[in-house]
Amino acid sequence: MKILKLIFITIFCTIFTIANAASLDAMIGQMVLVGFQGKDLNSKSAQALVKDVKAGKVGGVLFLGHNVGSKKQVLSLTNAIQSASSNKILITIDQEGGRVRRIKEADGAPFLASAKQMTQVNQQLAHEKYYDTAFYLNSIGFNVNFGPVVDLEINKNNPVIAKLNRSYGANPLVVSQYAYMFVNAHRQANMLTALKHFPGHGSSAKDSHKGFVNISKTWQAIELDPYKQLIIWDAADMVMAAHVFLDKMSDDGKVPTSLSHKAITGVLRGELKFKGVVVSDDMAMGAITRNFTSKVAIIKSINAGTDLVMMSFNKDKVGSLGAWVHGVIKHAVANGQIKQQTIVNAYNRIQILKAKLP
């Protein structure tokens, strides 16, 4: 017991020392995860991104399909981004399989079937296929793959989950088992993952990319089961919060779960005991942009318990996207809209996550 107590005190003191050694600017920078335009360093957007990374204003980068070309091209970009910082940068991509693959076979990636198709093979073969993809992603500079999808296939006509074959099915145990294969295979390839889309997007009738999605009448408590199981199995590096509205998890009956303290801190961290990093879904999605200003959404998400704020673009920003998001958070701390301790807590969780990378 004394040894365990000593270990706990040592870990706590180490984290406390790290947080205190970092400036507020540096801690905020670790919470910013942004996208960019272009496929090489000749684009102004990519140049601005590298500059922001070097200045410590960005801790994570999102690659979308329009950023991807040849293996050589992607590697030159990821190398430039990583080498611009003395800290580890989260270089992220969505390579779930099936319809959601930012890198296609023509650009060198291994073929990866959808989640629905993957359940037609045994779990060991699924693990091998996921490892092939994870190994390839890591070989070209990525260290985060935003998957697996753990949404249950409750609504067969769901336009963004079931219709795209993104779910492993309606059985929470099967979903958990195949999701574990995804996570474990990526870890073996030195990749981090994110369970999505909390608290469940599988019962929705609409797509949150396009606008407001209310799941209050269709959501079922069973949709939390994969999160419960994977957290117990220590298979949750990150959890991605969805931009869906669920009345019982909304702070004021207006905000989606991604901006709700009741959902993220109350349910995910409190009831499900998740202690890792919470990453927002893209703040550029219609469910957010059509109902909130970007500044309000960023502040609400952080106060809800989000650690990493993801934004692929913002047409209203002035200057580079990373510096803009960083400035929004910094200003909110300065005027008391976000407590500094909230930033410290998020920073500590992100550093623990990044310590898992080689």
Q: Which residues are catalytic?
A: 209, 281
Token readout for 164 is 């795209």
Pairwise CA distance, residues 153 & 171, whole Å: 8
Torsion of CA 255, 262, 161, 101, to 10 degrees: 90
Query: Whose structure tokens read 């690659």?
Result: 63
Query: Rounded to whole angstroms, how far apart are CA atoms 74 and 80?
Result: 10
Contact of 284 with 316, CB cutoff 8 Å: no
Q: DSSP string covering 70-124, please?
A: -HHHHHHHHHHHHHT-SSPPEEEE-EEETTEESS-GGGTPPP---HHHHTTS-HH
- Residue 270 sits at φ, ψ, to 5 deg, of -75, -65
Residue 342's nearest CA partner among 308, 310, 309, 305 is: 305
264 vs 251: CA distance, rounded Å: 11
β-pairing verdict for 309-311 and 144-145: unpaired
